[in-house]
Amino acid sequence: MSRGRVLVLGASGRTGRRVVKALQRHGFPVRALVRNPASRPELESDSVEVVVGEVTQEDDLRRAMQGVRYVVSALGSKAPTDAAHIELVEFTTIAEAAQIAYENGVEQFVLCSSMGVEIPDMIPPLAEILRQKRRGELALEGSGVPFTIVRPGGLTNAPSNGVAIARTLPGFGMISRDDVAEVMVQALLQPRARNKIVEIINDPEAGPADRPNLFDEVEVAR
């Protein structure tokens, strides 16, 4: 089955690379926006077009978003870094990308955020990042673009495991990057993921990330 092209922001990162592979597995043509041309050989294939550009530059974002049906963002800043850079990556760029997506008629924008964005002061080392991530979420929610916001727990490189999912989970936990990528792609495949915010962590007693009806029990955010 032919699927619409997906623009992946942050495609060269540890989670972004997994998102690209998951999209390929599910038959999506991919456009990967990367900053460093050295990332091209690892990502590019018959189903993956690599575009070199700065995600923080409006002209590059507009060029990358031409002709795509979906946008998936795996962007993220790393602590420690300065507040201006955190705001640029986590809020300003997401807000701009959401606006451009709206102008281009993008059908869905899937954003990788983080657990803790609504209680940033409880995690002091990450508080500023979490605050700016929440601002990015709100900008996407208000953009008019159908969205899914995925809030993973602590990221690991462990193998896939069961995935617990809810609007608000009862506690923090860890989750495999492979599972995060799969949940983000399932958000495109499962219509009931639209306009929802979900928290996810690994739970061996829960079902796999690609289970049917993954999002059905989560209420719509708006």
In the chain, what are the domain boundaries? 6-202
Q: What 3 state SS string does the chain have?
A: CCCCCEEEECCCCHHHHHHHHHHHHCCCCEEEEECCHHHHHHHCECCEEEEECCCCCHHHHHHHHCCCCEEEECCCCCCCCCHHHHHHHHHHHHHHHHHHHHHCCCCEEEEECCCCCCCHHHCHHHHHHHHHHHHHHHHHHCCCCCEEEEEECEEECCCCCCEEEECCCCCCCEEEHHHHHHHHHHHHHCHHHCCEEEEEEECCCCCCCCCCCCCCCCCCCC
The string of pLDDT tens digits covering residues 40-92 is 989 999 999 999 999 999 999 999 999 999 999 999 987 667 999 999 999 99
Confidence tier at 107 by pLDDT (50, 70, 90): very high
The rounded percent of the chain whose pLDDT value lies above 90 is 91
CATH superfamily, with its number, for domain 6-202: NAD(P)-binding Rossmann-like Domain (3.40.50.720)
pTM for the structure as a whole? 0.97
